[in-house]
């Protein structure tokens, strides 16, 4: 019985969270297209998109618990078997007919199967770090490390892989730089590249990347989920660019690194890198009012979602869905 309740809670949480993610994603998409929020980018936009993906699943937990509790404590479920629905408010009942019960069970086992697939995918992605061949930094890279003033707990490695540079790992993150990039860039440009990767570390992007990837995998079928994760990834890169390009000289060196990366590794993303170069060279001051406007919009959208979920018709739909899952 307890296992069935836990499985029912997972299915309820998935359903409620998916609805709220869709509503928040739609809100941010409309604001990005048709409001002053379209000018917000970098750290502010990364923060909003991260909230849009992580806050709904967190808020879905108490709602799922409340739905399960209402079904367990309902007097109609005292005999722990299926019964006709006694609620007079119009709603989508999950146990009033054999067909409704079958559909509820299909949603349950479909959600559990999807969780199993996404969990396996996350394990494979987490193991990717082991495939990097880590090489001790060359004297040239060591000079750049010394100039970058990196913290002692952030190690730097050279690799012979196809990716120019990056921050990998969650619990013990480290920076890797490809040997070819080390050979092609001067020490000062390498220093700015390391500062860019350190910005991801300082912003805790390695943690957010893991959480957002897990959330995006779980809720991939939900509209706007992939868009939110992509927007966060692009905005976090721009935020790291702004951190590394602290002055005009650093911006010029970062642009030089982008041009090398564009010519050797990612020619298909030339237009995107070109835009990043232009943004670095023409850094704009942050408009805090626009950022605050976006945060308020997200919170209001989430409150509106909670209001809809707690309306009698939607709440009784969740209640009867929980009954169909926990009764025998």
Break the chain down into helix, strand, coil percent, rounded to 5. Answer: 75, 5, 20
Closest to 137 (Cα-Cα) out of 148, 129, 128, 127: 148
Read off the tokens for 276. Answer: 């990043």
Question: Going residue by residue through the chain (328 aa), what tens digit of pLDDT does each one get?
Answer: 677 777 778 888 888 888 889 988 888 888 888 877 777 777 888 888 898 899 889 888 888 888 788 777 776 655 455 555 666 556 566 565 555 566 666 767 777 777 777 777 776 666 655 566 788 888 999 998 998 888 888 889 888 877 788 888 888 888 988 888 888 889 988 998 999 999 999 989 988 988 998 898 888 888 999 999 999 998 888 888 888 877 778 878 888 787 777 766 555 454 555 555 566 555 544 444 545 655 666 666 667 666 666 677 676 777 777 777 776 5
CA distance 82 to 323: 8
Bridge partners (DSSP) listed for residue 277: none
Domain ranges of the chain: 2-127+288-326, 133-281
pTM of the model: 0.78
CA terminus-to-terminus distance, the chain: 9
CA distance 196 to 119: 30
List Cβ neighbours of 130 (8 Å cut-off, separation of 6 or more). none
């Amino acid at each position: 019985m307890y296992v069935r309740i836990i499985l029912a809670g997972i299915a309820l949480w998935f359903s409620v969270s998916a609805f709220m993610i869709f509503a928040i994603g739609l809100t941010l998409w409309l604001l990005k297209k048709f409001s002053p929020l379209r000018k917000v980018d970098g750290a502010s936009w990364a923060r909003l998109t991260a909230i849009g993906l992580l806050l709904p699943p967190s808020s879905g937990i108490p709602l799922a618990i409340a739905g399960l509790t209402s079904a367990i404590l309902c007097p109609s479920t005292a005999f722990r078997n299926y019964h006709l629905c006694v609620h007079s408010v119009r709603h989508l009942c999950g146990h009033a007919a054999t067909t409704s019960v079958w559909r509820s069970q299909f949603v349950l086992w479909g959600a559990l199967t999807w969780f199993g697939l996404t969990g396996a995918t996350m394990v494979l992605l987490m193991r990717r770090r082991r495939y990097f061949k880590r090489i001790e930094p060359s004297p040239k890279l060591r000079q750049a490390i010394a100039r970058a003033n990196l913290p002692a707990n952030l190690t730097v490695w050279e690799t012979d892989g196809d990716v120019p540079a990056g921050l990998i790992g969650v619990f013990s993150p480290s920076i890797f730089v490809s040997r070819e990039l080390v050979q092609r860039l001067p020490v000062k440009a390498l220093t700015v590249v390391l500062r860019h990767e350190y910005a991801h570390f300082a912003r805790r992007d390695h943690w957010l990347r893991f959480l957002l990837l897990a959330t995006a995998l779980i809720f991939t079928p939900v509209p706007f989920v992939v868009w939110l994760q992509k927007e966060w990834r692009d905005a976090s890169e721009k935020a790291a660019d702004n951190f590394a390009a602290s002055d005009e000289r650093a911006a010029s060196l970062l642009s030089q690194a982008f041009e090398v990366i564009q010519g050797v590794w990612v020619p298909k993303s030339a237009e995107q890198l070109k835009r990043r170069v232009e943004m670095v060279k023409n850094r704009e001051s942050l408009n805090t009012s626009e950022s605050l406007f976006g945060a308020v919009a997200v919170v209001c959208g989430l409150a509106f979602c909670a209001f809809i979920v707690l309306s009698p018709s939607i709440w009784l739909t969740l209640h009867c869905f929980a009954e169909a899952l926990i009764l025998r």
